[in-house]
Chains A and B, each alone.
Chain A
């Protein structure tokens, strides 16, 4: 029984490692490549710790423009989707019960329709409207940001609605009635009773909507017009080859997400702890912030602090650290390696030649043959020179140093001379 248990535990551990590796591995690798110096995102071989890709990112106009557009579109989508989602969810509670199922199917449908279809239809629909209204082709109905917000909101609003429906199901209609009974108008009852109750759901729906908007590609790709969002820019970049500045961007996004999640978790746990210790609810919702107390038994808070310290020290280190020396070293190392390789090839060729000559001398030692063999040797030497030249092309630093090439040539000439 016991050994079986251990076996199961090992199996479970292995499974967990695999599972989390599968989930988080790519993110980890991507993050590491952001700090490696090669100009293609690589984790191995590790060359130099560098922060230059963050600089490259910060100076990349297209990426920055993409982020800006994404933020604008995200904000617009959040406002539109949350409003529409809330309205949709409220109608669901008010609508005639027999219509409810039909209504639900209709408003949930955009989630099931492929984003590509939504994108195309948004584009075509507003183009038709534009034509119908007789506007010119550069009217706001053709504006990329306008279309993207509308296109994305068609289905993101449905997501928001699902969040709101879940929350509304726990709402006691009696509260609204009580408010009305106490003299509130319908608007007051909505604003003072329902809206505060929906606040947490509005928060989560807004986050959800923003993230869905930020990462959306397939709808946006039809609607962005002159305002490419970040995802569009990234996709276009990948086509022309990428550098680790994309990893740097990914790292920033991952770090921000992690911070947000941890901060939220810490706050939640702090509340739970306080409640478990018998603190009154009003005290928990207050702003009291006592370090030792909330740290106690709150791993999220500890992790958050460690992470913050890590981030601060990393930023400090980035200010101080200069990878130039390391990069030069690596370059030198590469050069030496290449030289070694050249030497090795040369040595190999020399050995081969010697072998051939010996064989030829053995076979036919006549003077006529000797001349022939000399011609052959010359031919081989010439071709070898050509090979070396090509190698120089492949190794630009070497090639640039023409002096060294000349040296090699001289060396070869002397060698050939000796042979003759």
Chain B
């Protein structure tokens, strides 16, 4: 982690005319960290990346790389390398020329470049492929060439703009581990842009979740998943059942919410919301499908919900039961398939229970649209 250089965004605003693409972004990325920006498309995460790499200047605020203000430095003067969404490999150059382009523009001799290219090709497990054209490589190979090309420039910060989105699922999962490995080997700061929460959670040390130009939460993957700071984060990262209602009572870390349809339910108040809620406030409760279990008793308590089974879905490892829920939405519960007989039938009434610590209460807010 020695080579990594920190990146800091101080009150960064980016506007295009009247449109605000990024609103008051404050991010502190430590050196050698794998940091992800996670958000739906159009939330401004690519804009942030382009501002860090120098393709656009922030309208307000400062971007510091290694403590140095980057204002006025063009993309070719910054210690960053960007891996583009479409990879942007130079189609007319051979693989090795692609990889060592950053050396070529510095005037490094061909012999030396060739040597460096071979080293990097070994590193990305593509030895002897240097004389091919990019169009002759498979998707995953191109991906690795793009990484090698960026690493060849020996950047302090590597920026990745959804580089895996064009790959198929299997390859994507493989490349995730590979990227993480490469990052740990070279020890430089990775800033990763994605709309795929799986990518963000598996690879990152820290994740910033963005919504419409605003950063909702910056935390490690665990915290993002278990203690979302806003309803948006709760609904965007992973699956969540939403229960709307009003706070009925607050008891330390827990609160009881009077829901519109499922009665009074108890849940933990999200750490980010502690002190913000009072009795009578509109609020939302989030319950993960995997936190639901079939109740052993049918008597209703504050952590049990009784509803009619609408649908069932068998996934092998788990099976999902969809119950009639709030505002026409279904309550999804995922049950681990342990081989026993199915305990539910469509049309049947069913009672589910949950651990109140695994449910979260947040102030009323905007959800991620499906």
Please list the residues of chain A having a beta carbon within 8 angstroms of any beta carbon in chain B.
Answer: 172, 174-175, 177-185, 188, 192-193, 196-197, 280-282
Q: How far is the CA of A282 from the CA of B90 in the complex (A)?
A: 14
A-B contact pairs, 23 of them (CB 8 A): A174-B88, A175-B90, A175-B91, A177-B75, A177-B82, A178-B82, A178-B88, A178-B90, A180-B74, A180-B76, A181-B54, A181-B76, A182-B76, A182-B150, A182-B153, A183-B106, A184-B105, A185-B105, A192-B101, A196-B92, A280-B132, A281-B135, A282-B132
> Once A and B bind, how many residue pairs between them come within 8 Å at the CB atom?
70
Closest beta carbon of chain A to B51's beta carbon, Å: 13
* Complex contacts, A280 vs chain B, CB 8 Å: 132-133, 136
Query: What DSSP secondary structure best describes chain A's contact surface?
Result: helix
Decide: A183 near B136, CB < 8 A? Known: A172-B86, A177-B75, A178-B90: no
Q: Are B105 and A192 in contact (CB under 8 A)?
A: yes
Partner of B53, one of A181, A193, A196: A181
Task: Judge if B247 is at the interface, Cβ distance under 8 Å.
Answer: no
A174-B84, A182-B76, A282-B132 given. 15 additional CB < 8 A pairs? Answer: A172-B88, A177-B88, A178-B90, A181-B55, A181-B82, A182-B102, A182-B150, A183-B105, A183-B106, A184-B76, A185-B76, A188-B105, A192-B101, A281-B136, A282-B133
Query: What DSSP secondary structure best describes chain B's contact surface?
Result: loop
Among A177, A179, A181, which residue has the most Cβ atoms of chain B within 10 A? Answer: A181
When each residue 82-105 of chain B gets 1 if its CB lies under 8 Å from chain A and 0 otherwise, what string results?
101010101110100000011011
Q: Are A181 and B132 in contact (CB under 8 A)?
A: no
* Complex contacts, A282 vs chain B, CB 8 Å: 94, 131-133, 136
* Complex contacts, B54 vs chain A, CB 8 Å: 181
* Complex contacts, B153 vs chain A, CB 8 Å: 182-183
Q: How far is the CA of A192 from the CA of B153 in the complex (A)?
A: 17
Q: How far is the CA of A193 from the CA of B92 in the complex (A)?
A: 8
Among A177, A188, A280, which residue has the most Cβ atoms of chain B within 10 A? Answer: A177
* Complex contacts, B82 vs chain A, CB 8 Å: 177-178, 181
Q: Are A174 and B86 in contact (CB under 8 A)?
A: yes
Task: Judge if B80 is at the interface, Cβ distance under 8 Å.
Answer: yes
Q: Are B131 and A179 in contact (CB under 8 A)?
A: no
Closest beta carbon of chain B to A17's beta carbon, Å: 43
Q: Are A181 and B105 in contact (CB under 8 A)?
A: no
* Complex contacts, A180 vs chain B, CB 8 Å: 55, 74-76
Among A183, A280, A281, A282, which residue has the most Cβ atoms of chain B within 10 A? Answer: A183
- Which residue from chain A places its CB closest to the CB of B131 in the assembled complex? A282
Closest beta carbon of chain A to B151's beta carbon, Å: 11
Q: Are B81 and A181 in contact (CB under 8 A)?
A: yes
Closest beta carbon of chain B to A283's beta carbon, Å: 10
Task: Judge if B244 is at the interface, Cβ distance under 8 Å.
Answer: no
Q: Are B101 and A182 in contact (CB under 8 A)?
A: yes
Task: Judge if B195 is at the interface, Cβ distance under 8 Å.
Answer: no
Closest beta carbon of chain A to B82's beta carbon, Å: 5
